[in-house]
Amino acid sequence: MGEVYNASNLKVLHGLLPVRERPGMYIGSTDTVGLHHLVWEIVDNAVDEANEGYGKNIYVTIHDDGSLEVVDQGRGIPYDYNAKEKLSGFQIVYQTLHGGGKFDEGNYSHAGGLHGVGAAVTNALSVWMEVHSYKDGRDHFGRFEKGGSKFLGLKDLGETTKRGTSVRFLPDKEIFEDTTWNFDRIAAHLDDSACLTKGVTFHLKDERSGRSQDYYYEKGLLEYYSRRTVNKVTLCQPIHIEGKSDDKIKVETVFGFIKDNYDEKIISFANGVRTSDGGYHVTGFKKAVTACFNSYASSHNLIKKNDSLDGDCLREGLVCILSTWIPEHLLQFEGQTKGKLGTKEALASVDSIIEDKLSYYLEEHSKETEAIVQKTINEMRIRAKTEEDKRKERELLKSKINSFTLSDKLTPCSTKDYLNNELFIVEGDSAGGAAKKGRDPKHQAILPLRGKPKNTTEVDDEKTLLGNKEIATLIYTIGAGFDDDFKIKDIHYGKVIIMTDADDDGSHIQSLLLTFFYNHMKPLIDNGHVYIACPPLYRVYNTKKEIYCYDDNDLKVAKDEIGKGYKINRYKGLGEMNYTQLAKTTMAKDKRRLIQVKITDDDECSDKISLFLGKDSDRRKEWVENNIDFVVRDAFTKEVSNEEE
Ligand code: TSJ
């Protein structure tokens, strides 16, 4: 009987070759991330079937031989001959790249698969694949080999009481760098799938270690929400809304507000795929929530007639899980990593489903709603106040500067040849002293800054800066105003040179100053007036000669040049140099090395500028190093003859 392969089915197809030739196009990569895509392609098909209401269990087994098996309890894959395609159902699913595993229009299938060709892609990248379709009381079996190019025919293995599909495959070592399955990675995916497919149990078993774990969410998203908000004080019970729009878009969301929390956390999915960049479904959600709370607030006289609640303020403390299922013909992903839902219809659908139900809900839960509205109003007040604070502080600084008499801290220079004059901003009073003595008094002025502000927060840092007397001096000294009033033609110095040590304090002061210039005197940077001084790292000398070195290459050259019997001084900071050394190196127009500060990417810079003021000095330093372009100017490291010393 059906115990033998049906010879007419024994066919060799080469339709899958493109997948083997360019696996990256189909599964992203051939590393471990790509390897696991093979599993998602198979599992997601089983999940789709469960989602349609067929089957309550999905079994995933990592076998000892390196193969992986997925079993569901669905309708079983159609195995019969398809006259139009002249192929059996098995072959269409596993050996062709079009259409994938779907025989009907499969309304809400997963889109996790890269091009919807799921099972065939996995087959193409496997040494072998074995499939059982338990359907109509019979067990139909098929085996593929050599990346799906060889089909050994369909076998009827006889009667069975089972229902469902089983797929087992061995990934090809010729394709993947490493074919070792990662239990935790698979577990995390199954956990996500379980949450979105409530009532279905995912059984994961690892024969290699004997480990096994089940994933089951009775209430789906609601439990996911509870897990995220455990131990948190919330302003309301979780709000659970479900619905389906006219264009058959299904929406489910669970959300709530956490007290005294300022984050907005929206975890969104479209057809079982995480949309980490949001998209139209998220926009629809925000629109509905803002509208409902606004209409509640005005109809209950919680806000004035023409006022409205700000959406951003409303969403502070929001935790939301939003899952949408979009009919296949409407489903569209955008963005480089396809992490954004591009289905425009989702906006109106999600908006109307949520608005419909949420407006009733709010009326029925007036106490909680009022607390959330109050939180929003408070937040709006705080924000308005912060703006007001900022304005006041500016005014204060302005009045300070206008009434300022030159601080005795500044050591000015004697000529008014502004563009040839240089202002050295020096870290610390002692380095300031040396700089003062070593300078060219005609053209070089010195402004010492005190040690860095300690333990400052984002806001405090800016405040410290603006409230800092030296900064006020700096603004006055540069002489061209600041912010909107800054006039580049009025600057009193052609070069503003930051001279600090190459240590953490030095780089903090450096980034504070650069931030200050960026925020309040941007044209100064744009026009190339801001520089960073580079003190030498070494002095190589003998009794006759000395050479200052600014990097290791200089050092090599200097050692050769001085020759036998050279000696080396290594400088750890400006403090180790006396004023004559400073005068001969870091401050000498013809010998020093200066770095001109330029903004490489302005947009990026605006985005990241808050980083400067944040707490993380390592990240800040890294950012300054990566994004502010250091262009070496006046780069002279010539030999210095030692006349006096
Ligand atoms: F990935 C895969 F294709 F290999 C695969 C598919 C793997 C696993 C574990 C399960 C499945 C799968 C496919 N499970 N259930 C189905 N169902 C169908 O293909 C199917 C069956 C009947 C009908 C019908 O309209 O009668 C429709 C479909 C989509």
> How much distance in Å is there from the Cα of 22 to the middle of ligand 1?
26
Q: Which pLDDT value is given to residue 386?
A: 84
Condensed to tens digits (0 to 9), the pLDDT of residues 22-32 reads 998 888 889 99
CA of 601: how far to CAs of 129, 609, 627, in Å?
Answer: 50, 12, 7
For the ranges 226-240, 407-421, 466-480, 615-629, the one whose mean pLDDT is highest: 226-240
Rounded Cα gap, residues 154 and 157, in angstroms: 9
Task: From the CA of 106, give the closest atom in ligand 1.
Answer: 29
Pocket of ligand 1, candidates 26, 45, 94: which has the most ligand atoms within 8 Å of its Cβ, to mutate? 45
What is the arithmetic mean of pLDDT over 225-251?
Answer: 94
E strand residue ranges, 273-341: 273-274, 318-325, 333-334, 340-341
Q: Which pLDDT value is given to residue 626?
A: 54
Q: Which pLDDT value is given to residue 623?
A: 52
Q: Which pLDDT value is given to residue 463?
A: 53
CA angle 290, 248, 328 (to 5 degrees): 110
Condensed to tens digits (0 to 9), the pLDDT of residues 192-210 reads 899 999 999 999 999 999 9
Q: Which pLDDT value is given to residue 485?
A: 86
**What is the pTM for the complete model shown?**
0.58
Which residue in this structure is represented by tokens 């290791």?
552
What is the arithmetic mean of pLDDT over 403-420?
Answer: 77
Q: Which pLDDT value is given to residue 100?
A: 41
Rounded Cα gap, residues 495 and 527, in angstroms: 10
504 pLDDT band (50/70/90 cuts)? confident
Condensed to tens digits (0 to 9), the pLDDT of residues 350-387 reads 999 999 999 999 999 999 999 999 999 999 999 988 88
115 pLDDT band (50/70/90 cuts)? very low
21 pLDDT band (50/70/90 cuts)? very high
Pocket of ligand 1, candidates 130, 165, 186: which has the most ligand atoms within 8 Å of its Cβ, to mutate? 165
Task: From the CA of 54, give the closest atom in ligand 1.
Answer: 15
pLDDT top residue among 357 and 636:
357
Mean of the per-residue pLDDT values for the chain?
Answer: 84
Condensed to tens digits (0 to 9), the pLDDT of residues 529-584 reads 999 998 898 999 999 999 999 888 999 999 999 998 999 999 888 878 889 999 99
pLDDT top residue among 119 and 15:
119
Pocket of ligand 1, candidates 41, 77, 109: which has the most ligand atoms within 8 Å of its Cβ, to mutate? 77
CB atoms near residue 253 (< 10 Å): 28
Task: From the CA of 100, give the closest atom in ligand 1.
Answer: 3
What is the arithmetic mean of pLDDT over 267-274?
Answer: 90
368 is written with which tokens? 């909680």
Q: Which positions are catalytic?
A: 427, 501, 503, 505
Note whether 133 and 143 are within 8 A (CB): no
> How much distance in Å is there from the Cα of 453 to the middle of ligand 1?
65
What is the arithmetic mean of pLDDT over 384-406?
Answer: 71
Residues 6 or more apart in contact with residue 637 via CB below 8 angstroms: 536, 547, 548, 549, 550, 554, 591, 593
Q: Which pLDDT value is given to residue 621?
A: 53
What is the arithmetic mean of pLDDT over 235-255?
Answer: 96
> How much distance in Å is there from the Cα of 203 to the middle of ligand 1?
19
Ligand 1: list residues with CB < 6 Å. 42, 45-46, 49, 70, 72, 74-75, 77-78, 93, 101-104, 106, 118-119, 165, 167
**pLDDT surpassing 50 at residue 9:** no
pLDDT top residue among 147 and 509:
147
> How much distance in Å is there from the Cα of 324 to the middle of ligand 1?
22
Rg of the chain on CA atoms, in Å = 35
Position 172: which residue type? D
Range from 291-295, 355-359, 405-409 carrying the lowest mean pLDDT: 405-409
What is the arithmetic mean of pLDDT over 10-19?
Answer: 70
> 539-553: buried (b, 16+ CB within 10 Å) or exposed (e) per residue?
bbbeeebbbbbbeee
What is the arithmetic mean of pLDDT over 133-142?
Answer: 95
pLDDT top residue among 371 and 604:
371
Task: From the CA of 58, give the closest atom in ligand 1.
Answer: 9
CA of 566: how far to CAs of 101, 536, 581, in Å?
Answer: 77, 17, 18
> How much distance in Å is there from the Cα of 248 to the middle of ligand 1?
22
Rounded Cα gap, residues 631 and 645, in angstroms: 32
pLDDT top residue among 481 and 607:
481
Residues 6 or more apart in contact with residue 205 via CB below 8 angstroms: 59, 60, 61, 62, 211, 212
Nearest CA to ligand 1 atom 10: 46
496 pLDDT band (50/70/90 cuts)? very high
> How much distance in Å is there from the Cα of 212 to the middle of ligand 1?
25
**pLDDT surpassing 80 at residue 266:** yes
Task: From the CA of 42, give the closest atom in ligand 1.
Answer: 1
**pLDDT surpassing 90 at residue 36:** yes
Nearest CA to ligand 1 atom 29: 102
Range from 38-47, 579-588, 593-602 carrying the lowest mean pLDDT: 593-602
What is the arithmetic mean of pLDDT over 338-353?
Answer: 94
Q: Which pLDDT value is given to residue 95?
A: 82
- Could you please report the per-residue DSSP string of 500-553? --SSHHHHHHHHHHHHHHHHH-HHHHHTT-EEEEE--SEEEE-SSEEEEESSHH
φ, ψ for residue 215, nearest 5 deg? -125, 125
> How much distance in Å is there from the Cα of 68 to the middle of ligand 1?
17
Condensed to tens digits (0 to 9), the pLDDT of residues 63-100 reads 999 999 999 999 998 887 666 667 777 887 788 875 44
What is the arithmetic mean of pLDDT over 520-529?
Answer: 92
Q: Which pLDDT value is given to residue 97?
A: 77
